[in-house]
Structure 1
Amino acid sequence: MKVAIVQTALIQGQVAENMQIIQDALTEAASANPDVIVLPELWNTSFLPENVYEIADVDGKETRALLSSFAKNNHVNIVGGSVANIREDALFNTVFVYDRDGSEIASYDKAHLFSPAGEDDYFAAGKDSVTFELDGVTCGVVTCYDLRFPEWVRELALADAQVVFVPAAWPATRNVHWDILNRARAIENQMYVVAVNSVGLVNPKGDVYGGHSVIIDPWGSYIVEPDDDHEIKVGEIDFDVIDGIRSKINVFNDRRPDIYDI
């Protein structure tokens, strides 16, 4: 599976400009002929303008139209990062996933909201973990702060996910945590992790996104290395690696669910 990840700069609160940035990035990513394109978190509004509710995508209408059309026209799967999405008058941080035919095959509302930045003051929390198939491969998705909750990612592993996508808006000040947590989730669940972050300014206060978008294999090795450049990054996922590590050290065979419950 060839994966293209979009590590790009966004503009806080400027939806039309961000939509154009993502359209251009999708076009550039598609030129690499990937099987899957992955976008970062909250790419329509960036993180986190005060008027996010007013400028959010109602029922994801604009987002869904863009991603569905692009996926179909380019015959590519898209894990659509996440957007600020209003549904039934509540605001959600939602990932939409599309297959090569442009069909929406999954959506996921971020479950763990980042209270230190007041995300929970704006957004409603999702309640359901989500898996889906891309080209016959079981995949899952979590969003940014979800990464800090290993039991949430383990649920996806127990549902046979071989790849977990992690769209994020993660600050550079915590890049060490980002790098370690992504590798830990890959190692402990013996799966691939595809983690996609933005770069550039978060807000006028001067906070900066950390970049460091990566593809990590089940051994914890980088298939795509972390950096903070504005770029499309491409890597190949080899599912034989999962079989190889599980034939040597299969942690799932040695789990003790009789003595703990996640």
Structure 2
Amino acid sequence: MGRVEDLDEGLRTIRELASTLGKVDLASLPEAWLERPLSEDEERRLTEEGMQVVSTLGGVLVMGGYWALRKGRPLMISRAVSASGVVSEASKRFPSNAVGERTEVAPGDGPSTFEFPGGRAGIVLCVDASYPELVRLPALEGAHVVINPASIPFDRIYLWRALAQSRAAENTVFFAVVNLADARYKDGRSVEGNSIVASPEGRIIIELGRKETTEVVNLDLDEIHARRERWPYLDDVREFYDGGRRRP
């Protein structure tokens, strides 16, 4: 999805994009698809719209990342919504220092996990994926898929491609970067999509193009079990922590 300035325009775009998907277990928007922060009433409208959309999709919709107030603090929020309501809410733990976000946006609570029809998923917002400890949390909580709503400029996609492969392999999960399309940073750099899905062995399954689009990707969760028989990283980490070491 590209960036919009008006919420009504954004809701129309979400409906149009969702209408191309058919029935899916899990779908996601990117980060920062709305130019400005949402008011409380607007966030309620967005959630209600997400519930309507997902009643057609049949699974869970991750509403990407958007700025909203929590107890008077602006945070980058991501809600996972089913037809019956909000099932999970993540917030960006470490707003980006590189682009000045940290001076405007407060640190949130970090990743979250939730159930969807195919299994369990986690949300890690944008630059939080640079912290392996944060991605490890939903993996240790049983996530099969980690969704990374992001707004990464085109000149840094090479880095996010590597992160997607590394985070997927070290946690033996599917890692999906859902990147903003058709936007610019304040410094003029373009954000042009290139969403990525990596497999539990670190293989790029798909990388989308540089325009607003949708794609359905079939994930075989049995691949996770097969990979974990060879790479018991999560079991090893649990044993390490259970031995008295400090958890991340």
Q: TM-score, normalised by structure 2?
A: 0.89
Aligned to 2:106: 124
Aligned to 1:20: 12
| 3-state SS of paired residue (1:227) | coil
| Per-residue CA distance 1:117-154 (angstroms, 9 max, x = gap) | 12122222112531111126121110100010001111
| 3-state SS of paired residue (2:69) | strand
Deviation at 1:74? 4.0
2:2 corresponds to 1:9? yes
5+ residue gaps, structure 2: none
Deviates more, 1:181-190 or 1:126-135: 126-135
Paired with 2:78 and 2:186, the residues of 1 have a C-alpha distance of: 26
Higher RCO by CA contacts (8 Å cutoff, separation 6 or greater): 1
Counterpart selection for 2:218 from 221, 224, 236: 236
Deviation at 1:205? 5.8
Paired with 1:110 and 1:220, the residues of 2 have a C-alpha distance of: 24
* Matched residues, number: 243
2:131 corresponds to 1:149? yes
2:231 corresponds to 1:249? yes
Relative to structure 1, is the Cα distance of residues 226 and 260 closer, same or farther in structure 2, using a 3 angstrom cutoff?
farther
For residues 104-253 of structure 1, the aligned pairs below 5 Å read 104-135=86-117, 137-202=119-184, 206-253=188-235
Q: Alignment RMSD, CA only?
A: 2.1
Paired with 1:226 and 1:73, the residues of 2 have a C-alpha distance of: 24
| Per-residue CA distance 1:3-56 (angstroms, 9 max, x = gap) | xxxxx2223x34333332222212223x3x2222211012222xxxxxx35xx2
Deviates more, 1:172-181 or 1:125-134: 125-134
Paired-residue identity, %: 24
| 3-state SS of paired residue (2:137) | helix
For residues 31-110 of structure 1, the aligned pairs below 5 Å read 31=22, 33-45=23-35, 52-53=36-37, 56-58=38-40, 60-99=43-82, 101-110=83-92
Deviation at 1:87? 2.8
Deviation at 1:97? 0.7
Partners of 1:57 and 1:63 within 8 A in 2:
no
